[in-house]
Structure formats: structure tokens, C-alpha cells
Structure 1
Amino acid sequence: MRLSRRTILQGAGALSFAVASLRTGALGQTAPAAAPSTEVPPILFVHGNGDYDALWMTTLWRMESNGVARDRMLAINFTDPLARSDDKVEQAGRSSTEDQRRELAAAIAELKRRTGAPRVALVGSSRGGNAIRNVIRNGGAGDVSHAILCGTPNHGVFATDDQPNNEFNGRGTFLRSLNEGESEVTPGVAFLTLRSDGMDKYAQADGRFIGKPGVPTGVTVEGPELKGATNLVLCALDHREVAFHPRAFREIYKFIAGREPARIAIVPEQSIRLSGLVTGTPGGAPTNRPVAGATVEIFRVDPETGERKGGAVHRSKTGADGRWGPAQVEPAWPLEFVLTSPDAPTTHFYRSPFPRSSDVVHLRAARPLGPADKDAGAVVIMSRPRGYFGLPRDVVLFDGKAPADVKPGVPTDSAATLRFPAVDVGRNVVAQFNEERIVARAWPAAENRIAVAELTY
């Protein structure tokens, strides 16, 4: 008997959904291309809840590799990316739907000014799709040619009669205002939704993925779809991958450009310039507010041991704008970024070689060492910002073993943590995710240091 990957991952309970999807032709389809045009419209990428524009780095590279000029693309960085618990009540370090609408409208105006184009295409991940729909619905439709919503909880993460002012409540005030009417899209704008086939943790019938096991959420895997849009299912991709995976890129590009991309792979550059923004987590909330007075050092490291090869190839200190760089590196170099940020652990980020230049290599210090780390000689984190770890969907090995803190089934974890005794300080630690392999070093926790193996793909 041959079992599908999805059956293995989700068990017999998902089989009925697979059958239903096959009946409606949801699996294996692709979005129809828009009418062919000579030039791709400017594209504005919109990140999700608690995230930042750096998540679009690989998408920007793929667009550039298909001839889209970098200056015709923009990725917004919302000031306070986390949603409020109650959209009507101010909450430190968090934003309302109106805050997001206002910032996105300003970014659209800036991209139009910069390019001279009458309309732009918008691509949003998760909460970013809420901001896109809000802008379009409330006066911005004339500025937008395409709206692509990736894993956006268009009908809520939950749908209940309590919490009426929660942005993610499908029965709440905000989403009901966006979804009312016979069609859920705005005329004149081409809408595409991309969703998972049951692997999106925020589109689940059971509340266990939002901390309420056994409680019905009132939503289904079809929640990200919209009446009136082109709705596309990307099989076993997770909540983030439906925005950042190569499979998602193909559909995003085709829908906007009106043709298949010439290539999916990223075309390397000969010379690499990197720069970015240092941000922080005041009060524990991740923000995109700049951090001044942070020091960034970059070292070339050995791909097999993680050891430094010579002195720093770049060193800079951030000013009021929080920017660091630019740094000149080679496309074959694995790198260690050392971030020394005020009132935060010194964080050693280990990264795979960068195939292309980027100005969104953002750095945010790792979380403070806590009670769980008190007996650790070293703490090493494996992080996947552009997706979740899926077991057994993916090969995920951390120091040679499947991470104990990554749950199997529907992918819900984007980070894993290992703690080592003092005797292991200085040793190398291998983080392997499918074909990407990063070798980090274990730095002493006693010096308030944490190492992060940050995956690119």
C-alpha cells in the first residue's frame, strides 16, 4: 500500500478532506496567468504578524532573477507588527488595523512616486493580507492592480461571538466589514489567495494550535479563500511557506506578470553587498523600531567547523536610524554576524552564503536567557524564519538528531533550542534543514551569549 505524504502527516482524519479537494479539483492546479504585459507592475510585499520585511528576501532575489528591477519592488516594515488583543484599545508595542492601513497606504504612495506607475501589485503574508484588504476596501482600489494574499486568515483564526474587536475573529467587527456582501473582493483589483492543504496552523478546526485543545475554532482549512478571488491550494506547504516557498513564488510571479517565470532558482551575483536594520523587543514585543548604539561584526567562517577564518570583514555601529552596513562579502562565504545590542544577549547569527546582495539583512537580538537556561553552559537556537519545521515532512536535524521541541504533524514550530553543558562550550553544532546546512559554534552563556543558526530557506 502506498501512502501519500499528507496521509502520513495528518492521518486518516485528513483523508476525507483530500477526497473532497480532489472532487473540486483543488489539488495540482495553478493560478491562471493575468493578461500578458510588457512590464511587470511595481510590487509591494507586506509581512505578517510580528514579522519584518526581511522575510521577503528570497522572493526579492527570485524576482530579480526573472528581470524585475530591484527599484520597482518595495517590502514594507511595519513599525509595530504585532496586532492588538482588542483592536480598539491601545496596547504598547502593538498596532491596530488602522495603524497598518495608514502605513501601507503611505508605502503604496511612495512606490508609485518612485516608479511613476499608476497602480502597484500587493503581495501579503498572513496578517499582511488583512492590511491589503483594508487599504483596497477603504479607498485604495484605484492604486492597486493585483492583490495576492498568502495564508491570510480571511475568515479568522477563530470565529466566535466573544472578542468582537479581535482582528483575527471571523465573526468580529473587522473581518465582517471586509467580508460583507455577495463578493468578498473589490471590483477592479485581481485577487489571488494561496493556502495550504490542511497544514496551516492558523486554519484548523480544532483550537489546539491556538492554545485551546478540543475547542472548535469555527474555521476550516478553506478559511483563507475569498468569494470572487482565484483561490489556489498549495498542498502540504505550511502557514509561512504559502508566501515564501519557491512553489508560492511561481504563482505570485505568474499572476502578476501574466507568464511563467523564466526560472525558479536564484541567479547568483559575483559581488555581494549586505546591509540591514537592527531592531529590538521592548517590553517583550517584537518591533521594527530601530535600535541605536548596536554593534554589528561579520566574520567569514569555515563551512565544516563554523570557526572564524581571519578577523572581521565588517564592523559598524548603528546610529539613530538603526542601519548597519554596507558590507562587502563573497557569494561562497558562510558568515557569522555578531550583534551586540543594548540590554540584550550578544547574539551570534550563523548564515548560509548569500547568493545575492540584500539591504534587508535585519538583525534582532535573541531572547534573554531565562530560567530554563540557568544550568546551561551554552544555548544554541535553530531558526527558520520563512517557514516551520514539518515532521516527518522535512529533514530536520539539530546536532545530529530530530529536535525534541519540534512537534510532528501540522507544522507549528519555527525554532528549536539545544542547551549544552559548560564542557561543550566552543564545540560546533550542525543545523540541517532539508538541503540547507549551517554549522554554528556554542558560545558561553555565562557571558550572556546565544548562538542562532538562521536558515535562509
Structure 2
Amino acid sequence: MTNASRRALLGAMALAPLIPRLARAQEAALTPILFVHGNGDHAALWMTTLWRFESNGWPRDRLRALDFTDPLARDDDAVAQPMRSSSDDAWRELAAEVAALRGRTGAARVALVGNSRGGYPIRNHVQLHNGGAEVSHAVTCGTPNSGIYNWEGNAGREFNARSALLRALNGGESQVVPGTAFLTLRSDSNDLYAQPDGRYAGQPGVATGVNFDSPALRGATNLVLPGVDHRETAYSARAFREMFRFVAGREPDRLSVVPEARPVLDGRVTGTPGGVPTNRPVAGALVEVFRVSAASGERMGDAIHRRTTGEDGRWGPLAVAPDWSLEIVVAAPGHPVTHSYRSPFPRSSDVVHLRPAAPPAVADREAGAVVRFNRPRGYFGLPRDVVLLDGREPAELPRGVAAGAIAIARLPAAEIGRPVAGVFNEERVVARAWPLAENRISVAELTW
């Protein structure tokens, strides 16, 4: 060994003990991020975004997606409503999550990222409750910051530009706070909640009083993502790139998700009592998971997991392979038995939340079987997207502005048990038709 080689080896040996500490220091420098879902939604919508951050080196313990207990806004923010939340309710839950994330990570400041209604408690915390000192970055994605409409009627509705909340948030010359970096992400004209016509607010032909730029904020960095829909302003790869570089100060290494060898899945079963979506845990729900054929949806043997939920509603953990297609069956008290068919999970997640399907609509009740094709992290846009259910473009999906996230196939009793394929661009999920007479509903749920 030459002297030069010996010196290099000795230097490497001297540095070796420092490498883990350097890695930990680099991880600690990454800002903790709290993700905030929208109206009626839950933390599971952020699953793919969490995967993308992890795939770019963000430690899992510095990422958190919250669940509002009652995620649906009241009809009037000042009037109590069962299983609905006020803007103050949402702010209090967010403030508690911020404190918990700071306490767990030891970070002085965190970044907040919200979709749709989830942007309101972020702004409420920073602008109206002096939260700027503990928030380094605030990102609102598709949030109707200037309202969905500006109407005299229903002025107490949180989404009305005349509501007390939005008047308080928007009354100043600037809509941001010094010391906290603000970013807004919006569509050019494809967000159904930022439209000049009231069609998507139940008043077609009536001017809303707002425009496509309703999500923008005075004083913020305002970016337009052409063609994306309301949810894609937050949950798409395009949106991820912008929020990542805004918080990290650099470009991500990749937009794709790096698979794990053995992902572990967990989450909670929550309910929709009376048709109202909540994030309250459901006890006594039987969850069974089967590995299925990606091509046909047919089960490949017995259940690989079976658990009845306790008071916390948790149904896992379950270790899977990153290329397994799954059927997740949820039998929850007071809900239809739901057979949910899912694409493979490439990485672990503890927000694989399971909401049983809503009861069949009147139009469904004469069918032998019902298969719902669901896109939770975006909408179906025609003719923007290729959308096929059981070999046909669903006739009920609107054309133009992307506004529908569910398509339905109704099958006669003679076709119970056969596969039904849902295709959205390059993602394909195959479900099996189960008998509606047994109070069973099939769901082909997209991941992307």
C-alpha cells in the first residue's frame, strides 16, 4: 500500500463514525411538514404525496397528514350542526397538530400544506392567531381563498366571500404574514370551485362574483398549473414538484415513488352515519384482505389478513409485497359490506383509511350488482382523460371542467361474479361484481 493510499484509508476510517451523525443532521435540517385535507376528506388522500417526499429523502417521522374529526363544513359557520365542523373547530385541531409535530421533532417551525378547505385553517392559524412564528412555509392548493362565490344569500357559509372568516382573512392590503413564505397552487380554468359561473355551486347561469384566480393570495408566490383539476392542485406529481421545491429550496430528485421491499399498511375504519362523512373511528368492523389477480380481480387464496377493529378503528398492520393487487373487504355496522379493489401499494402507509361505501342510490336499487369506480385524488375530466368502465366511457361523467370523481356500473343479477375493469389513463383496476341483494357494493379505487 502506498503512503497516499494509507492516508486515504486512515482518513476514511476517521470519518466513518461521523457519517451517521451527518446523515441525522441532514435529516433534522428538513422541515417537518403537516398536510391538511379538504372538505369531507381524510388524510389518505395525501398518501401518494407522502410517498413522493419519502422517495426524495424526507424522513417519514417528519411528515404528518392530519384527519379532522368532522371534516365537513357547516352550512352556516356560526350554527352548530351534528357531525359538521366550524372554521374554529378546524383551526383548533390544526393548532394541536402543529404543536404535536413540533414537540415530536423538536423543530421550532413547520411547513403547512393544505388542499381546498384545508387552506383555511392554515391561514387562520398564521394570520389570525399569530402562528407565523411556528410556521416557516404555508402552501394552499386549490383553496378558494377569495371564496367559491360572493353572494348575498348564505353569507354564513364558510366558502362565501362574505363569510366572517374570509372577510377577516382577506380584509387587509396583504393576505400573507411577513416571515412566513406563502405559495398558492391553482388551475388555469379547470377547478370546479374557481369558476365565474355558478353551475358547480348549484346556480348555473348566475355569476359567482369570483374568477379562476380565486385561490391566489396578494403577497404570495402564486403559480398556475395548466389543466389540473381541483384535487390535482394538491395530489398530482406536478403539484408535488412545486411544493417540494418551495419547502426544500431545491428540485426533487424524482417524481416517481421508490418501492419498498415489504410495505406495511395500516389505517382506520371510519363511518358515514346518515350519509355524512366523518373521520370518527368505527369499532366492531371486520376487515379482511385478499391478494387478487390484477388482470381479473379473482382471489388468490384465503384472506392474508383479518381483524375486527377496536375503539381506535385501526385495521392493520399488514405486510404486503409492492406488486400485490388487493381486495379489502369492510363489514362495518350500519354500512354496506364494501369490497374495495386496489392497485399495488409500493410503500408503507399508516393512512390507508377505509370508509365503507355509501348506501345504494335509488337508481342503483334495481341492479343485481353495483361497481363504483372512484378517483379520490383527482377528478375524471372528459375529454382530457381516458376513462373507461366495463369497456365504455361512462355516460354520466360531465364533459369540460373536471367535476366527477365516481362512475357507476350497474349489472343484472345474471352477471354477478364477473370482472369489471376501470381504466383511467394508464392505471387499471379490476373489481368483481358482488350481489347487491346481500347489501354488498364493489369499489374499484384508483391510486393516482
TM surpasses 0.5: yes
Shift of 1:182: 1.0
Name which of 342, 351, 354 aligns with 1:360.
351
- Contact 1:37/1:258 (<8 A) preserved: no
2:84 is aligned with 1:94: yes
1:327 alignment counterpart: 318
* Structure 2 Cα separation of the partners of residues 54 and 436 of structure 1: 18
1:167 alignment counterpart: 158
2:118 alignment counterpart: 128
- Contact 1:280/1:288 (<8 A) preserved: yes
2:336 is aligned with 1:345: yes
Shift of 1:162: 2.6
2:15 alignment counterpart: none
- Contact 2:290/2:327 (<8 A) preserved: yes
2:222 alignment counterpart: 231
- Contact 1:205/1:216 (<8 A) preserved: yes
The one-letter code of the counterpart of 1:170 is A
Shift of 1:140: 1.1
* Structure 2 Cα separation of the partners of residues 373 and 397 of structure 1: 19
Name which of 364, 377, 381 aligns with 1:373.
364
- Contact 2:282/2:312 (<8 A) preserved: yes
Name which of 22, 38, 46 aligns with 2:36.
46
Question: Which runs of no fewer than 5 residues in structure 2 stay unpaired?
Answer: 1-25
- Contact 1:159/1:172 (<8 A) preserved: no
Shift of 1:304: 1.0
Shift of 1:153: 0.3
Matched residue SS, 1:338: strand
1:104 alignment counterpart: 94
Alignment RMSD: 1.1
- Contact 1:39/1:257 (<8 A) preserved: no
1:29 alignment counterpart: none
Name which of 44, 52, 72 aligns with 1:62.
52
- Contact 2:156/2:162 (<8 A) preserved: no
1:25 alignment counterpart: none
Matched residue SS, 1:408: coil
- Contact 1:334/1:353 (<8 A) preserved: yes
Name which of 60, 70, 79 aligns with 2:69.
79
Shift of 1:160: 1.6
Shift of 1:293: 0.1
TM-score by length of 2: 0.93
1:409 alignment counterpart: 400
Shift of 1:361: 0.5
Name which of 395, 399, 420 aligns with 2:390.
399
Matched residue SS, 1:279: coil
- Contact 2:418/2:432 (<8 A) preserved: yes
Cα deviation per residue 1:214-242 (whole Å; 9 max; x = unaligned)? 01100100000000000000000000001
* Structure 2 Cα separation of the partners of residues 394 and 423 of structure 1: 31
1:24 alignment counterpart: none
Name which of 390, 411, 414 aligns with 2:381.
390
* Structure 1 Cα separation of the partners of residues 151 and 370 of structure 2: 40
- Contact 2:36/2:119 (<8 A) preserved: yes
* Structure 1 Cα separation of the partners of residues 280 and 189 of structure 2: 35
**After TM superposition, which residue ranges in structure 1, 4 or more long, deviate above 3 angstroms?**
none
1:299 alignment counterpart: 290
2:197 is aligned with 1:176: no
Q: Which has the higher contact order (CA 8 A, sep 6+)?
A: 1
Question: Which runs of no fewer than 5 residues in structure 1 stay unpaired?
Answer: 1-35
* Structure 1 Cα separation of the partners of residues 126 and 50 of structure 2: 23
2:159 is aligned with 1:155: no
Matched residue SS, 1:324: coil
- Contact 2:27/2:58 (<8 A) preserved: no
- Contact 1:161/1:172 (<8 A) preserved: no
Total equivalences in the alignment: 422
Cα deviation per residue 1:361-383 (whole Å; 9 max; x = unaligned)? 11011011232122100000000
* Structure 2 Cα separation of the partners of residues 194 and 99 of structure 1: 25
2:417 is aligned with 1:426: yes
Shift of 1:209: 1.1
Matched residue SS, 1:161: coil
